[in-house]
Amino acid sequence: MTLNLSDLSKTYGQFKFGPFDLRVEDGVLAVLGPSGSGKTTLLSLIAGITEPDSGSICLNGRELVGHPLENRDVGMVFQEGALFPHMTARENIAYAATTAARVDGLAATLEIEDILNRSPPVLSGGEYQRVALARTLATDPAVLLLDEPLSSLDTPIRRRLRDELHSLFESLDIPILYVTHDQRTATALGDRIAIVRDGMLEQVGDSSTVVEQPATEFVARFTGNENLFEGSVIEHSEQGVTVRVGDVELQTATSNIGQSDITVCIHPSRVEIKPSRAPDDEQIINTITGTVTRWLNEGSEYQIEMATSWGSPALTASVHPPVFERLTIDTGTELQIMIPPSSIHLMPNRG
Ligand SMILES: Nc1ncnc2c1ncn2[C@@H]1O[C@H](COP(=O)(O)OP(=O)(O)OP(=O)(O)O)[C@@H](O)[C@H]1O
């Protein structure tokens, strides 16, 4: 299936959505953006809850604009589910399913067999969202839209359901748009990520490309990367350009940068650190010294903030617990930092 949005636009008073062009193939596209950027508007336009002022939405070549939502083959799960409160979970799913066997199959997939006879008001947040998803899947949608379905859940339940959704989505061969404002959910679930800002598409691409090679500083910051440094290009060579940040020269693997004033972007997971200087460390390219100013335990990884010889802002490295334990880090600890040339991303400096 292919969903193709072209020149799509909608205006609500001061807020202008679009013109928006986007192609979504089978798999999960995580739609990430700040509050009020137009993420829900995007889904509402695709679902047919809202009609656009102009533009087209094609599903496998079939135009959806102008067709009522029930004829679009689009399923949508909302942040606050929309189950019928006076029906049981089973009745809610059966309302949309063609056979009882289909209800049982979905209940097994979503592990809700034990709660089918309960009514929505007594379900927990996680159970409610599973039933809402089962009911939407029962319609066999050609496109699945999810609008922050996990945002009202507690962190442990959210993480578990997120992992389960990941496997479920892999088994569905349809385009899935998953709206979130949480970068971790976007990278955990999205094969691709679209960043929306002020009603416009800021960047779309494979998750790793968007995260490690952001097109703009906004994308970098919004995907959790604060390692942005003002720099200048000092030399072009066959290996790539050399840049200067403060007093530090860094070799990069990039050659296609025309400007001399640039922003250097280094993803925290690509910063390598080790305890102390070995005799031949001077030989290793892009090796600098850092002093730990702060560290944070974020569960699956540690964030280590370091002052470096290029001054502020600090450089952040994210490391996994086993690496962190080996380093015996505290505030004031001196570390060797290595930044592989291929891990340095350069962006034009917009001043
Ligand atoms: N039906 C509507 N009538 C008037 N304004 C609307 C309507 N729907 C959305 N808007 C406005 O459009 C803008 C974008 O809203 P939208 O809900 O799409 O943002 P969002 O990115 O989903 O935000 P959030 O993350 O807070 O849900 C907001 O300024 C909102 O007030």
Same domain assignment for residues 242 and 202: no
Query: Quick one: which atom of ligand 1 is closest to the CA of 79?
Result: 27
pLDDT of residue 281: 60
CA of 258 to the centre of ligand 1 (A): 38
pLDDT of residue 278: 63
Same domain assignment for residues 218 and 69: yes
Q: Is 102 in the pocket of ligand 1 (CB under 6 A)?
A: no
Same domain assignment for residues 161 and 234: no
Domain of residue 81 covers: 3-222
Q: Is 180 in the pocket of ligand 1 (CB under 6 A)?
A: no
Q: Is 39 in the pocket of ligand 1 (CB under 6 A)?
A: yes
Contact present, 106 and 38 (Cβ < 8 Å): no
Residue nearest to atom 6 of ligand 1 (CA): 12
Say which amino acid occupies 124. S
Same domain assignment for residues 323 and 309: yes
Residue nearest to atom 30 of ligand 1 (CA): 36
CA of 190 to the centre of ligand 1 (A): 23
pLDDT of residue 159: 82
Tokens standing for 137? 């899947």
Domain final residue, candidates 222, 240, 267: 222
Q: 285-317 burial string, b = 16+ CB within 10 Å, else e?
A: ebbbebebeebeeeeebbbbbbbbebeeebbbb
CA of 180 to the centre of ligand 1 (A): 14
CATH code for position 281: 2.40.50.100
Same domain assignment for residues 205 and 282: no
Question: H-type helices in the chain, by residue range?
Answer: 39-47, 89-96, 100-109, 125-137, 155-171, 183-189, 207-212, 217-222, 321-327
Same domain assignment for residues 216 and 233: no
Same domain assignment for residues 155 and 207: yes
CA of 41 to the centre of ligand 1 (A): 6
Q: Is 40 in the pocket of ligand 1 (CB under 6 A)?
A: yes
Q: Is 36 in the pocket of ligand 1 (CB under 6 A)?
A: yes
Counted domains in the chain: 2
pLDDT of residue 328: 82
Q: Is 185 in the pocket of ligand 1 (CB under 6 A)?
A: no
pLDDT, tens only, 26-35: 999 999 999 9
Q: Is 41 in the pocket of ligand 1 (CB under 6 A)?
A: yes
CA of 79 to the centre of ligand 1 (A): 14
Helix (H, G, I), strand (E, B) or coil at 18: strand
Contact present, 331 and 292 (Cβ < 8 Å): yes
pLDDT, tens only, 39-63: 999 999 999 999 999 999 999 999 9
Contact present, 81 and 161 (Cβ < 8 Å): no
pLDDT tens, N- to C-terminus, the chain (351 residues): 999 999 999 999 999 999 999 999 999 999 999 999 999 999 999 999 999 999 999 999 999 999 999 999 999 998 777 899 999 999 999 998 878 898 999 999 888 999 999 999 999 988 998 999 999 999 999 999 999 888 878 888 888 888 889 889 998 999 999 999 888 889 999 999 999 999 999 999 999 999 999 999 999 999 989 899 999 999 998 889 999 999 899 999 998 787 789 999 999 999 999 887 666 666 678 999 999 999 999 878 899 999 998 888 899 999 998 888 888 888 999 999 999 999 999 998 765
Q: Is 33 in the pocket of ligand 1 (CB under 6 A)?
A: yes
- Euclidean distance between CA atoms 244 and 250, whole angstroms: 6
Domain final residue, candidates 198, 222, 246: 222
Contact present, 33 and 81 (Cβ < 8 Å): no
Same domain assignment for residues 157 and 234: no
For the chain, the average pLDDT equals: 91
Domain final residue, candidates 222, 238, 265: 222
Same domain assignment for residues 49 and 104: yes
Note the Cα 253 to chain centre separation in Å: 26
CATH code for position 181: 3.40.50.300
Same domain assignment for residues 199 and 240: no
Choosing from 8, 9, 11, 12 the residue with most ligand 1 atoms within 8 A of its CB, the one to mutate for a pocket test is 12
pLDDT of residue 25: 95
Same domain assignment for residues 192 and 258: no
pLDDT of residue 195: 97
- Euclidean distance between CA atoms 321 and 335, whole angstroms: 17
Same domain assignment for residues 318 and 182: no
- Euclidean distance between CA atoms 132 and 127, whole angstroms: 9
